[in-house]
Chain A
Amino acid sequence: MSLSFGGIRALRGVSLAVREGETLAVIGPNGSGKTSLFNCISGAYQPGAGDISFDGASLLRLSPDRVARRGIARTFQNLRLFLGMPVMENLLVGRHLHFRRNLLSAALRLRREEIRHRDRCEEIIEFLDLEPYRKLRAGDCPYGVQKRVELGRALALEPRLLLLDEPASGLTGEEKEEVAYWLHEVRGRFGVTLVFVEHDLRFASRLAARMIALDRGEKIAEGTPEEVQRRPEVERAYLGDAA
């Protein structure tokens, strides 16, 4: 798949396959196209050429909400929470797709659906240790908690494919450990396929069995973490030509 913005080619013929149930890490230096790749998959950008298919059906020209309906959820590198809403409501928006929507019963306060979905969100709150923050506005939560809320919101959607854009960036060492633990649990508990973008090679190699490396919009390596990190192209991309 390829993506251009005017004269800038953000992705050049990148091709990758993700198998159901696996965990894939996408690594690469700044500006290498990792986030652009995610934006293409999730429908925020439309690739200029190529195809994206999920479960045998093409995702091309689908708006982000229809991609979500296919069972793909994502998080954002710079956090895109609903800052004015409490943490719990943020998670409930993640359940939006699963609601049986009916304006009349909403206006009449028939809460059966609400209770059903609240139950699921309470499970996620418990799972991610968010109890103390449940009623706090997302904008008032500390950064580490906001990252967790975003993960929780994506989980609430019950995705089959979860795209995480730098799940550990900006976190302290201890918080990174926690995120690694949760992602490990997420795979076990929700049986979700995981694709994540990461700068931190150590973090990435701990979670992912397979890795691809991007540089300047091109795929430069693919394989197990050890294989990828040993490739000279990857070293060059990360450390510059001098290395």
Chain B
Amino acid sequence: MDLVETWREELRFAPGRVTRALLAAAVAFSIALPFLGQPAWIVRGTLVAITAIGVMGQNLLVGYAGQVSFGQAGFLAIGAYAFAHLQGLPWLLALLGAGLVSALAGVVVGFPSLRLKGPYLAIATLGFGIAAYQLLANVPALSGGRMGLAVQRPSLLSLYWTDVALLGVFALATTNLISSYAGRALMAVRDSEIAAESMGVNLTRTKLLAFAISSFYTGVHGALFAQFLGHLEPELFNVSEVLTQFVAITVGGLASVEGSIFGAAFVVLLPVIFGGLRWAVPVFFGASILAVLIFEPGGLAGALRKARLYLEQWPFR
């Protein structure tokens, strides 16, 4: 049991013994994974890390800012193709460029959010995703035509280390952002637009910021995914990608950083478990959303939070 003496302790990163222990375990596991000598698991670990960055972005938008967007496939594609076209630049610049191009598209797509809410916004953003796909499928100059686009692919191990390190950076930045004025503004807009405005939060700026940050993350996700695959074709970015992301944030836990990582692991690893029954995965995805909404609306992160609270206060309750 931790005794908190002043509120300043609450401002520290990862307060609480159990939280710190879990965090240390996660870091140790990520470092140990490549030494287990299982290439298949290094591939899966890499894919979880890449996906988790995008899921985190999606969660910032949907879970924290409350803006339902189905445009993720579009941002993913923009990030991936921007990265492919920027390959002449140093790697980090190309990655940042991909994120920024996607963020710019995010701001543009975010404009309807100033007028539309809930399902209406979802439809508008879904339209953007489909338009991006159509554009890529029909403009060879962008997508490399039928041949697709080749992307330079580093060795598996170096992919693993960079992507896991990047996930660490993004997770840290997200944790910091959401506990700052900016994160509070996002949540305030989610919980009550009129009250947020009356407290001086600028709705336009906050919503567009949410879209920009979210699609920056998704753009980076796309870029890393392109690098992971080594090859791009428009088919990769169809609407089913949107479903996957939604399953990830719901099952992992809305408005939670660790939940985004759990959710990414869930959607990446589930098809592995299903193996030969791969056709059943979407069915199971749908069922898992229902199960989460009924039994644990906080998702995996919510379940963990409850367990942690119990442990931290033990033996008191």
- Which residue numbers of A lie inside 8 Å of B, CB to CB? 42-44, 63-65, 67-69, 73-74, 76, 80-85, 89, 92-97, 99, 101, 103, 106-109, 111, 113-115, 118, 122, 153, 157
Contacts and interface: CB of A to CB of B under 8 A. Distances in A.
Nearest to B196: A93
A69 B195 contact: no
B191 A85 contact: yes
B194 A80 contact: yes
Given A115-B8, A118-B11, A122-B7, A84 B200 contact: no
Contact of B194 (A64, A67, A95): A64
Contacts of B194: 44, 64, 76, 80
8 contacts: A44-B198, A65-B202, A93-B184, A93-B185, A103-B182, A106-B183, A107-B177, A109-B176
Contacts of B181: 92, 95-96, 99, 101, 106, 113-114
Given A64-B198, A84-B191, 10 more contacts: A63-B202, A80-B194, A82-B187, A82-B188, A97-B199, A99-B181, A106-B176, A106-B177, A109-B176, A157-B200
Given A80-B194, A109-B176, A114 B188 contact: no
A69 B11 contact: no
A124 to B, nearest CB: 13
Contacts of B8: 115
B201 interface: yes
Interface of B: 7-8, 11, 13, 173, 176-177, 179-185, 187-188, 190-192, 194-203, 255
B195 A80 contact: yes
A42 B198 contact: yes
A81 B199 CA distance: 11
Nearest to B180: A106
B191 A96 contact: no
A190 B174 CA distance: 36
Given A107-B176, A114-B11, A114-B180, A81 B202 contact: no
Contacts of B195: 76, 80-82
Nearest to B202: A65
A82 B191 contact: yes
Q: A80, A89, A115, A157 — which one has the most chain B CB atoms within 10 A of its CB? A: A80
